[in-house]
Structure 1
């Protein structure tokens, strides 16, 4: 595949991530297999974006000592895909996934199988052990033809930008799962503050990437992409005028309201704790008598 046919973006839905984690946990609990493999279902949009909405597990084995020895049940893949087509005819095989942190040498061979189902198979690596709250556990790739030093045409993986997005029903489902894991209503103030700190760190990381990109353009090392520049200009247009007295006053008022809320909450917590202490003392005196 040439670079001209490379998808501009890969969108991965939460259902895919949940299914992959479930697949990994089921297999790892029974075998010593280091990773699992499965098919990705979705569709290609008119603008070339790959929308991955579903997935299913595939029987896969490989020799840990010789990565050229591996087995993928493509007959099972075709049978299961036909069953999925009866449920949703719009979902087609768009690629495959593998768990882990990076691709392996035999992955380019596995990728060849999926050219039977799509002209541009997408390979997504999902790191089920990713705990960094500032980054996504997914990396998307596609294969391109390159000419080696010996003059032969070989295939190599190239990176594709990827993101995680959800339909409204999926968002409701994910929120329900989070409530089962952690009661959001009783979330502590420190946990909420930690979430905000992680959000600020993530934003700071993105701003650093933007700064690096603009610096490379200024140095003439990268050609400017007009779409990216337009998006940056739109972001800057949304920034408030911090020199305006009205904006300063609004920020000050909002901050004072927040500080007053925190003060009242702390005061009420102290009063309740003092009240409980008095009740405990009274109960202890009754027991002594």
Structure 2
């Protein structure tokens, strides 16, 4: 389970198995290709294995996001193009069995997020306006106890939640303000306990 500023994530083991298997398969294919091509004497260390890119699917219930599985992602890094029609078709097929599942975002492998990752992230916004980004570090670190996974939440999603909370707070303050004005004008009976509670609320807001 992962907790961020606004959401709680539940990452199911199947997703981890898929990422691990996918990364191992791609790494093995790259190693076999390099071996077949041969390496020159005195060559530098072999290039890092290619990264993997796959979509994650699941459900969101309130502020809890559950990532259940992953689906193939057709992305061309040379043109930064994503086959959205393919993903939408995959999502439709999945919904026939799991009607509440939809594409939550995508995952990749690496130690850190890269600037080029924004190309995929931006392309996925045509399917999900606030996609998640799950990053798995495949490097082995025996001293690390936690899973080497980072889940990035789109800033837009966090800002939307914050904006909604501020709008709700503002509307309640307006109601309280009108109520206090009505008591001051004598339009409604004055309730000292209510006025004191309102004053305490304003103090808490200004102190924060």
TM-score (norm 1): 0.42
Residues 203-242 of structure 1 aligned to structure 2 (within 5 Å): none
CA–CA separation in structure 2 for the residues paired with 1:130 and 1:16: 19
Task: Call closer, same or farther: CA 1:93–1:143 in 2, change over 3 Å.
Answer: same
Task: Call closer, same or farther: CA 1:56–1:129 in 2, change over 3 Å.
Answer: farther
Bigger helix share: 1
Q: Which residue of 1 aligns with 2:56?
A: 40
TM-score (norm 2): 0.57
The equivalent position to 2:69 in structure 1, one of 45, 50, 54, is 54
Q: Which residue of 1 aligns with 2:19?
A: 20
Task: Call closer, same or farther: CA 1:62–1:118 in 2, change over 3 Å.
Answer: closer
Please list every run of 5 or more consecutive structure 2 residues that lacks an aligned counterpart in the other structure.
32-48, 157-208
Task: Call closer, same or farther: CA 1:100–1:122 in 2, change over 3 Å.
Answer: same
CA–CA separation in structure 2 for the residues paired with 1:124 and 1:60: 16
Q: Which residue of 1 aligns with 2:194?
A: none
CA-CA distance at 1:109 after TM superposition:
2.3
CA-CA distance at 1:142 after TM superposition:
2.0
Task: Call closer, same or farther: CA 1:121–1:40 in 2, change over 3 Å.
Answer: same
Task: Call closer, same or farther: CA 1:82–1:131 in 2, change over 3 Å.
Answer: farther
Assess if the C-alpha contact under 8 Å between 2:135 and 2:150 holds in 1. Answer: yes
Residues 1-289 of structure 1 aligned to structure 2 (within 5 Å): 7-31=6-30, 34-46=50-62, 48-63=63-78, 69-132=79-142, 133-144=144-155
Assess if the C-alpha contact under 8 Å between 1:93 and 1:118 holds in 2. Answer: yes
SS of corresponding position for 1:42: strand
Q: Which residue of 1 aligns with 2:197?
A: none
Runs of 4 or more consecutive aligned structure 1 residues displaced over 4 Å after TM superposition: none
CA–CA separation in structure 2 for the residues paired with 1:28 and 1:104: 19
CA-CA distance at 1:131 after TM superposition:
3.7
CA–CA separation in structure 2 for the residues paired with 1:81 and 1:41: 9
CA-CA distance at 1:107 after TM superposition:
1.2
1:68-89 alpha-carbon deviations (Å, 9 max, x no partner) = x434332322222222112211
Task: Call closer, same or farther: CA 1:135–1:81 in 2, change over 3 Å.
Answer: same
1:227-269 alpha-carbon deviations (Å, 9 max, x no partner) = xxxxxxxxxxxxxxxxxxxxxxxxxxxxxxxxxxxxxxxxxxx
Please list every run of 5 or more consecutive structure 1 residues that lacks an aligned counterpart in the other structure.
1-5, 64-68, 146-289
